[in-house]
Each structure stands twice: as C-alpha cells, then as structure tokens.
C-alpha cells in the first residue's frame, strides 16, 4: 500500500474493478466519458498528476513527452505495445515507463485464430448476407471457403503471442513455420520450422500471421514484393499493428485474387480505415479488439497498477521498458 496517495491521470475508461483499486490507492483523475483527449487537453490534465496510465490511443511522442510537467514520474501503459510512447524521450526526462506483457497473450492469440477462421470461412460475408435477409438457398457451390485444418501457417514474429498462436494452430493440425530475429530454444519452438529469412518461408505459407511489433525495421514489412512470394490463394492475418503491412499492396492483392482473403484487427491510421477494406468481400474486419476480453482488460489494469505501486514504493517495476 502506498502511504501518501500519488495523483494518477487515467486517460481512458477502465474496467470497474481496476478503477476501484485506483480509487483506493491513488487520487485518480478519471475520464468517465472515455473521450480521446487532444494533446493540449492531455497536457493540461497532467499538470496535477504524478503519473499517467495511458493506452496506445494516446500520443506520447517525443514532442509531447518533452512538454510533460516535471512532477510526472511514471507512464504505466495499459498496453503491451509501446509504439505510441517515445521511450528515449521518457528516459531523457527521467520518467519510468512500463507496459503490460503476458496478460494479453491468450486473448490476442485467440483473436488471431478467429481472424484465420473468419477470413478462411468467409464469416463476415455470410453474416452480412443473413442480416440483409438475402440468404435464400443452400447449394454445394454456396459460400465455399478454405479449410484451415492441416494447412501451413507462417508466423512473422515468434514472441509470446506468436508462440501461443502456434500452440492453438497445432490444435488444427497446422504445420508451423516462423520467422523471428532469433531462433527459439527447442522447447519453445515445439517442432515449428525456423526460417532465418522471409524469402524461404513465404512460398510455404497457406496462412501468414503478422505478430511482430511496430519498429522502424518492421514498417510495411509485408509489401507487394513479399506478397508476390506467397502461394496464390494465401490468407493473411494481422493482429499486431497496421504499420507492418503495406495496405496498398494488400488491397491490390485482395482485389486481384492473389490473396484469397485477409483477416485484420489492426490498421494504419486507426480508427479511420481505408474504405477499400470495407468494400471488399474477402476481408474479415475487426476493430482492434485483440485484448478485448473482460479477463484480459482486468489483468492489464492490475498489471499496470502493480508496476505503478512498485515505482511509488521505490522498487523496480516488473515491466519497465524505459
Ligand atoms: C496493446 O496492448 O498493444 C494492444 O494493442 C491494445 O492496446
């Protein structure tokens, strides 16, 4: 328990149990309307705060971090991804930054399976048809998709989420291939086939799952040249970050039929997604809900608070990233 309650700016609405714990241990500044603050509003609210508990929706670029008041000691992100937050700038200001790894892994891997299944089995197309009252017959030729079972899955980025996705996909008898900066130890690899470069893996992928973080070197990693290396009729899913896929190239491949389908949870310029995606039948679309389960959203909040509690007790937080 923290003695003198620090003031904590909570930028978005959090699950009730998480907000209850904040009220118990901190002077919380809440956002009951869950409005996305402009940078000026955010900075204004920070004036009274000792720490911030933001989400990936907040812009904590270097320019914003430079303007934070000196009293801000910590940024405890309610996210595993920290691409919205300039870690070097925070370090320069002496602000401790944490994230929430591990607790999103199952939910995000689960969603990756949903994207694969939804895209392969034309789930949104079928659902739209029924909702529009346009389903009027059954035929062997009707809504035929691609089977997932027994297919080859390539995973780009074999971190926590990639490894659990592989485990779930094994339940569908999928053959797992992966590309990662480093090869995993055999116990973690669990029979998955390592490819030190994408060129050797892409031609083998019936399904390709993007699971890598947003880094300068992963920008537009899946571009036209790499899509061309996939087998015709491959299916691409992305539950990582929109920035890792060249959306022009993806749309072109979905339109030409080079790719049979895509399943997307993340986009460039969210929530303003390219209209082409919404207009294409062969895309299964979700609105960045990889971690959106009650269990995970609670766990993310508790993890962020565990980190903050450690910082205000003068200890090293478990999930320090800067
Ligand atoms: C994350 O934690 O990075 C998810 O994308 C939700 O913010």
* Structure tokens that stand for 241 in this block: 């970050």
**Residue 110, pLDDT score:** 98
**Residue 3, pLDDT score:** 67
Q: Kindly state the percentage of the chain with pLDDT values over 90.
A: 99
Structural domains present in the chain: 7-103+293-312 (3.40.50.720), 105-285 (3.40.50.720)
Residue 7 sits at the vertex; the CA angle it makes with 5 and 13, to the nearest 5 degrees, is 120
Q: Looking at the predicted structure, is the pLDDT value of residue 4 above 90?
A: no
For residue 100, give the ligand 1 atom closest to its CA: 2
Q: Looking at the predicted structure, is the pLDDT value of residue 307 above 70?
A: yes
Q: What is the pLDDT of residues 41-87, one digit of tens each?
A: 999 999 999 999 999 999 999 999 999 999 999 999 999 999 999 99
* DSSP-based three-state secondary structure for 238: strand
79, 84, 112: residue to mutate for ligand 1 pocket, most atoms within 8 A of CB = 79
53, 80, 298: residue to mutate for ligand 1 pocket, most atoms within 8 A of CB = 80
Decide if 8 contacts 49 (C-beta within 8 A): yes
Query: Is the CB of residue 104 below 6 angstroms from any atom belonging to ligand 1?
Result: yes
Q: Looking at the predicted structure, is the pLDDT value of residue 1 above 60?
A: no
Q: Looking at the predicted structure, is the pLDDT value of residue 2 above 80?
A: no
Phi-psi region of 34 (alpha: psi -120 to 50; beta: other; left: phi over 0): left
Q: Say which DSSP state 35 is in.
A: P
For residue 55, give the ligand 1 atom closest to its CA: 7
Indicate yes or no: pTM above 0.75: yes
CB-based contacts of 313-321 (< 8 A; 24+ apart in sequence) = 313/2, 317/74, 317/76, 317/96, 317/98, 318/98, 319/98, 319/99, 319/100, 319/101, 320/96, 320/97, 320/98, 321/82, 321/87, 321/97, 321/98, 321/99
The Cα–Cα gap between 201 and 273 comes to 29
Question: Ligand 1: which residue has its CA nearest to atom 6?
Answer: 79
Q: What is the pLDDT of residues 237-271, one digit of tens each?
A: 999 999 999 999 999 999 999 999 999 999 999 99
Q: Residue range 132-152: average pLDDT?
A: 97
**Residue 119, pLDDT score:** 98
Beta bridge partners of 29: 9
Query: Is the CB of residue 80 below 6 angstroms from any atom belonging to ligand 1?
Result: yes
Half-sphere CA count of 248, side-chain side, radius 13 A: 3
The Cα–Cα gap between 188 and 84 comes to 29
* DSSP-based three-state secondary structure for 89: helix
**Residue 185, pLDDT score:** 97
**Residue 308, pLDDT score:** 98
Distance 56 CA to ligand 1 centre (A): 6
Beta bridge partners of 76: 98
Query: Is the CB of residue 81 below 6 angstroms from any atom belonging to ligand 1?
Result: yes
Decide if 283 contacts 276 (C-beta within 8 A): no
**Mean of pLDDT over the chain:** 97
Strand ranges in the chain using DSSP code E only, listed in sequence order: 7-10, 27-29, 51-53, 74-76, 96-98, 152-156, 175-179, 193-194, 207-210, 234-238, 259-264, 283-285
36, 53, 56: residue to mutate for ligand 1 pocket, most atoms within 8 A of CB = 56
């Amino acid at each position: 328990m923290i003695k003198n309650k620090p003031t904590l700016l909570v930028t978005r609405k959090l699950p009730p149990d998480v907000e209850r714990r904040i009220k118990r241990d901190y002077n919380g500044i809440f956002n009951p309307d869950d409005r996305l603050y402009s940078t000026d509003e955010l900075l204004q609210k920070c004036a009274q705060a000792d720490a911030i508990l933001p989400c990936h929706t907040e812009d904590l670029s270097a320019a914003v971090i430079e303007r934070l008041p000196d009293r801000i000691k910590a940024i405890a992100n309610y996210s595993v991804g920290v691409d919205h937050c300039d870690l070097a700038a925070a370090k320069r200001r002496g602000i401790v930054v944490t994230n929430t790894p591990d607790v999103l892994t199952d939910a995000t891997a689960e969603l990756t399976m949903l994207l694969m299944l939804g895209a392969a089995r034309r789930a949104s197309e079928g659902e739209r048809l029924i909702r529009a009252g346009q389903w009027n017959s059954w035929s062997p030729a009707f809504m035929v998709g691609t089977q997932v079972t027994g297919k080859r899955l390539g995973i780009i980025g074999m971190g926590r989420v990639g490894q659990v996705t592989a485990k779930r996909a094994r339940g569908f008898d999928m053959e797992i291939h992966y590309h990662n900066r480093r090869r995993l130890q055999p116990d973690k690899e669990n029979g998955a086939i390592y490819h030190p470069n994408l060129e050797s893996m892409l031609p083998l992928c019936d399904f390709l799952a993007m699971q890598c973080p947003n880094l300068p070197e992963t920008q537009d990693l899946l571009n036209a040249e790499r899509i061309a290396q996939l087998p015709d009729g491959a299916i691409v899913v992305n539950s990582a970050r929109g920035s890792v896929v060249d959306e022009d190239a993806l749309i072109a491949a979905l339109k030409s039929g080079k790719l049979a389908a895509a399943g997307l949870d993340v986009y460039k310029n969210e929530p303003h997604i390219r209209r082409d995606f919404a207009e294409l039948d062969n895309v299964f679309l979700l609105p960045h809900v990889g971690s959106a389960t009650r269990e995970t959203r609670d766990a993310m909040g508790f993890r962020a608070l565990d980190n903050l509690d450690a910082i205000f007790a003068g200890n090293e937080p478990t999930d320090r990233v800067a």
